[in-house]
């Protein structure tokens, strides 16, 4: 007498309805690039789970239900922490960079010949910005307003900007100007149009810098995860970057 045993095995899945194992939150790559035709500018997690998604710091446009990141509506050039909170309270995190440039919050001392603001590429000061085929200040918006942005490398010449009179003649203490820089980088974005705003301040001496500016910088230093490295979660806003020019 023969006995036949039929064993049915059901393969585990990682679907929203039947999640299997710990959740590995990922967007397929650690750096996300915009696309020239706009397709692919909404980037979803490789696997979705029930719960809520949020991004830190402020500036990323993320759907709390699906985790989809809208690159076109986000502040690019920054690193963000994405957190998924499951219905049972379990939290899973990952970090992604939205490709682009930014400038470091920094005091520039003209008396020490510190007069060039260098763009930071993909949230890491050690990354080399691709220059061949790239263009900065498309449309001449920043340069037209007096902010001297080099169109071939994105550097801001602060002395030349001052000579252009953006802070008045002579420059006024606590004078501020915000400039928008449109740019295209010859990288994985395929020269997609990107942009950022930069806030420039002027002070005669370091002692003239008011407390509210120190408060902004201290908050970003203690709470930020904007460049490479870890930080403590908080409410700091990374944009616009603060370029603070001090005469002496």
The per-residue DSSP string of the chain comes to ---------PPP--SSSS--SS-----SSSEE---TTSTT-EE--SS--SSEEEEESTT--B-TTT--EEGGGS--SEEEEEEEE-TTS-EEEEEEEE-SEE---EEEEGGGT--EEPPEETT-TTSPPP-TT-EESGGGHHHHTT--B-TTT--EEHHHHHHTTTTTTTTPTTEEEEEEEEEE-SSTT-S--EEEEEEEEEESSGGG--HHHHHHHHHHHHH--SSSS----------S-EEEEE--
Are 198 and 118 found together in one domain? yes
* Model confidence band, residue 9 (pLDDT cutoffs 50, 70, 90): very low
**In the predicted model, what is the mean pLDDT of residues 47-65?**
95
For residue 213, being part of any structural domain is answered with yes
Containing structural domain, residue 41: 31-98
* Model confidence band, residue 237 (pLDDT cutoffs 50, 70, 90): low
**In the predicted model, what is the mean pLDDT of residues 193-205?**
97
Are 150 and 218 found together in one domain? yes
Say whether pLDDT at 226 is over 70.
Answer: no
> What confidence score (pLDDT) does residue 216 get?
87
Are 110 and 86 found together in one domain? no
> What confidence score (pLDDT) does residue 222 get?
60
pTM for the predicted model, two decimal places: 0.86
Are 53 and 107 found together in one domain? no
- Minimum mean pLDDT among 19-23, 137-141, 243-247: which range? 19-23
Report pLDDT digits (tens) over 177-189.
999 999 999 999 9
For residue 12, being part of any structural domain is answered with no
């Amino acid at each position: 007498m023969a006995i036949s045993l039929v064993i049915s095995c059901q393969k585990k899945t990682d679907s929203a309805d039947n999640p299997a194992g710990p959740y590995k939150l990922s967007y397929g790559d650690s750096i996300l690039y915009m696309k020239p035709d706009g397709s692919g500018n909404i980037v979803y997690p490789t696997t979705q789970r029930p719960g809520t998604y949020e991004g830190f710091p402020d500036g990323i446009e993320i759907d709390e239900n699906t985790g989809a990141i809208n690159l076109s509506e986000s502040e690019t050039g920054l690193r963000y922490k994405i957190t998924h909170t499951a219905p049972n309270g379990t939290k899973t995190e990952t970090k992604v960079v939205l490709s682009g440039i930014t400038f470091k919050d920094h005091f520039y001392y003209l008396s020490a010949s510190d007069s060039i603001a260098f763009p930071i590429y993909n949230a890491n000061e050690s990354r080399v910005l691709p220059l061949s085929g790239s263009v900065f200040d498309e449309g001449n918006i920043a340069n037209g307003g007096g902010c001297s942005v080099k169109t071939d490398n994105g550097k801001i010449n602060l002395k030349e900007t001052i000579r252009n009179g953006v802070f008045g003649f002579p420059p006024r203490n606590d004078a501020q100007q915000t400039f928008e820089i449109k740019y295209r980088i010859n990288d994985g974005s395929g020269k997609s149009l990107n942009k950022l705003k930069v806030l420039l301040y002027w002070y005669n001496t370091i002692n003239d810098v008011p407390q509210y500016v120190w408060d902004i910088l201290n908050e970003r230093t203690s709470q930020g995860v904007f460049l490479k490295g870890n930080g403590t979660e908080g409410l700091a806003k990374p944009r616009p970057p603060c370029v603070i020019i001090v005469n002496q």
